[in-house]
Amino acid sequence: MSEPAKRDGGSIPHVLAHNPADNVAVAVIEGLSAGTTAFGVITETDAPFQVLVKQDIPIGHKVALRDLKAGETAIKYGQDVGRIVKDVAKGEHVHIHNLKTKRW
């Protein structure tokens, strides 16, 4: 497992959530690998959190912050960003294979 990146004595987040209601966070580093205990921050509150990443997550992609069931709404930036179409475990990659827009 990798440790959080360090700079100037502080930890640099692996993932960011924007709102306390978010159930997904965004990978903000390259090479976020399965098995990493990712350090995260909720940007609205500066609250830290951790999530054990179960799959490789490309930069800019989402990771589940809790178990998500098919039919649930993915929340990012405190907003509805789509419908979960396949169960996703906490720490797994959330992308087009298990998340679809509600717009069409």
What's 5-100's CATH class?
mainly beta
Q: Report CA torsion sign: 88, 55, 49, 40.
A: negative
Name the token pair of 50: 């951790």
Query: Cα separation of 90 and 80, whole Å?
Result: 18
pLDDT of residue 103: 84
Query: Cα separation of 3 and 82, whole Å?
Result: 31
Cβ atoms of 99 and 84 within 8 Å: the answer is yes
For the chain, which residues score pLDDT lower than 50?
1, 5-9
pLDDT of residue 10: 59
pLDDT of residue 89: 98
Cβ atoms of 93 and 57 within 8 Å: the answer is yes
Helix (H, G, I), strand (E, B) or coil at 1: coil
pLDDT of residue 13: 95
Name the token pair of 48: 């830290």
